[in-house]
């Protein structure tokens, strides 16, 4: 069955492989974005240039009927309200990309399930906004499906504090990088191409309507292993500075979100629900292979001398030095 499918976004970290697989499945695929990404759209995709911030250009999307709308670019309740106004009565299925960071993190409950883990995050405004978006969507007339990716890799490096490429630059310079805790908390990484396989099978799937799903790998990796694998891909040795989460937050309070609200705790996912609805699937379990694409994209950015935000470096230098001096 050929579906008329819209992606809002479509060229990002997670969405581009989903666009590719939707086209491969034979669907008519349109992609709405600003057209500013370096990566080209796959052959067969219809490009609609526009900006969500421009009500006039965005309103055009509500002038036709879509079998499936894939919303990768809504992060605030105001944006969700805009989508409710634009797509109500115009879509057979509205799939919202939320975040697995909405789930409550707990030291006694590391296995996350849609049925038993509440969407509660008192630490991170990003997650709180996603929860608010979910609630608005569920209260609307949209025929919704809610998808919560966890840490999904393709172009960007996985880091604990969302420092991005600056972690790689520190490694290449022989400087230590921060790891919250003792580095043994287990974290789930999923390649975008693996996420896409079950994702596109939610399209026009009656069992997916008005349901929450996360889509992740079934295994996890310690943060020490993740950083050591990144360093291996760069051809250097990782120097890890282990600092308690509470201490890091005293240095920089807004680290409470990505740490206490997400990465401090061991987090694994029960994927039985998505497998029941979309069919069984497998994800890459070799950490070095999972990081091949992020490191390839990183090297491209370094070769192109793409600017890297290193504003946190002086603070990180200070934290590492003070931590190293303890007990000396």
> What is the SS3 string spanning 134-194?
HHHHHHCCCCEEEEEECEEECCCCCCCCCCCCHHHHHHHCCCCEEEECCCCCEECEEEHHH
Long-range pairs, 81-87, Cβ under 8 A, ≥24: 81/136, 82/52, 82/55, 82/58, 83/137, 83/142, 84/136, 84/137, 84/140, 84/141, 84/142, 86/58, 86/59, 86/61, 86/62, 87/61, 87/62, 87/142
Burial class (CB in 10 A: 0-12, 13-18, 19+), 38: exposed
CB of 194 closer than 8 Å to CB of 281:
yes
In DSSP terms, 68 is beta-bridged to 5
Is the per-residue pLDDT at 205 higher than 80?
A: yes
CB of 236 closer than 8 Å to CB of 225:
no
Element (H, E) at 242: strand 240-243
Element (H, E) at 133: helix 125-139
Mean pLDDT of the chain: 96
pLDDT tens across 270-326, in order?
999 999 999 999 999 999 999 999 999 999 999 999 999 999 999 999 999 999 999
pLDDT tens across 119-148, in order?
999 999 999 999 999 999 999 999 999 999
Euclidean distance between CA atoms 211 and 147, whole angstroms = 9
pLDDT for the residue numbered 162: 93
CB of 223 closer than 8 Å to CB of 262:
no
Is the per-residue pLDDT at 215 higher than 80?
A: yes
Is the per-residue pLDDT at 107 higher than 90?
A: no
Please count the residues of the chain: 328
pLDDT tens across 225-245, in order?
999 999 999 999 999 999 999
Mean pLDDT of 255-265: 96
Residues 6+ apart with CB under 8 A from 15: 7, 9, 70, 72, 97
Euclidean distance between CA atoms 5 and 108, whole angstroms = 41
305, two tokens: 């001398």
CA nearest to 238, candidates 228, 246, 248: 228
pLDDT tens across 174-189, in order?
999 999 999 999 999 9
54, two tokens: 């421009």
Residues 6+ apart with CB under 8 A from 168: 157, 230, 234, 298, 302
The Cα-based distances of 15 to 6, 96, 106, 174, 184 in angstroms read 11, 12, 29, 34, 30
The Cα-based distances of 196 to 68, 190, 221, 226, 283 in angstroms read 15, 10, 21, 22, 10
Euclidean distance between CA atoms 258 and 160, whole angstroms = 7
pLDDT for the residue numbered 35: 84
Residue whose entry in the numeric block shows the structure tokens 């666009």? 19
Instruction: Tell if the pTM clears 0.85, that is, is over it.
Output: yes
pLDDT for the residue numbered 328: 66
CB of 237 closer than 8 Å to CB of 251:
no
């Amino acid at each position: 069955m050929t579906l008329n499918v819209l992606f809002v976004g479509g060229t990002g970290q997670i969405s581009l492989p989903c666009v590719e697989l939707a086209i491969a499945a034979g669907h008519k695929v349109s992609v709405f974005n600003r057209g500013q990404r370096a990566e080209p759209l796959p052959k067969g995709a219809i490009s609609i240039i526009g900006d969500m911030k421009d009500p006039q250009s965005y309103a055009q999307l509500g002038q036709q009927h879509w079998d499936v709308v894939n919303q990768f670019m809504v992060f605030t309740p105001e944006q969700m309200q805009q989508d409710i106004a634009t797509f109500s009565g115009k879509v057979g299925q509205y799939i919202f990309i939320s975040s697995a960071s909405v789930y409550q993190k707990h030291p006694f409950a590391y296995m996350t399930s849609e049925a038993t883990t509440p969407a509660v995050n008192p630490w991170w405004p990003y997650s709180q906004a996603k929860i608010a978006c979910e609630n608005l969507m569920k209260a609307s007339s949209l025929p919704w499906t809610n998808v919560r990716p966890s840490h999904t890799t393709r172009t960007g490096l996985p880091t604990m504090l969302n420092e991005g490429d600056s972690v790689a630059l520190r490694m290449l310079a022989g400087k230590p990088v921060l790891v919250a805790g003792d580095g043994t908390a287990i974290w789930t990484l999923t390649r975008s191409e693996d996420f896409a396989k079950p994702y596109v099978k939610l399209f026009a799937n009656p069992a997916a309507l008005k349901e929450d799903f996360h889509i992740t790998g079934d295994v996890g990796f310690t943060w020490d292993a993740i950083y050591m694998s990144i360093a291996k891909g760069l051809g250097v040795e990782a120097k890890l500075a282990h600092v308690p989460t509470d201490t890091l937050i005293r240095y920089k309070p807004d680290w409470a979100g990505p740490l206490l609200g997400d990465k401090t705790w061991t987090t694994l996912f029960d994927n039985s629900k998505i497998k029941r609805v979309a069919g069984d699937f497998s994800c890459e379990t070799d950490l070095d292979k999972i990081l091949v694409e992020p490191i390839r994209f990183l090297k491209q950015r370094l070769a192109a001398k793409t600017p890297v935000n290193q504003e946190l470096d002086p603070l990180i230098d200070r934290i590492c030095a003070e931590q190293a001096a303890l007990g000396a």
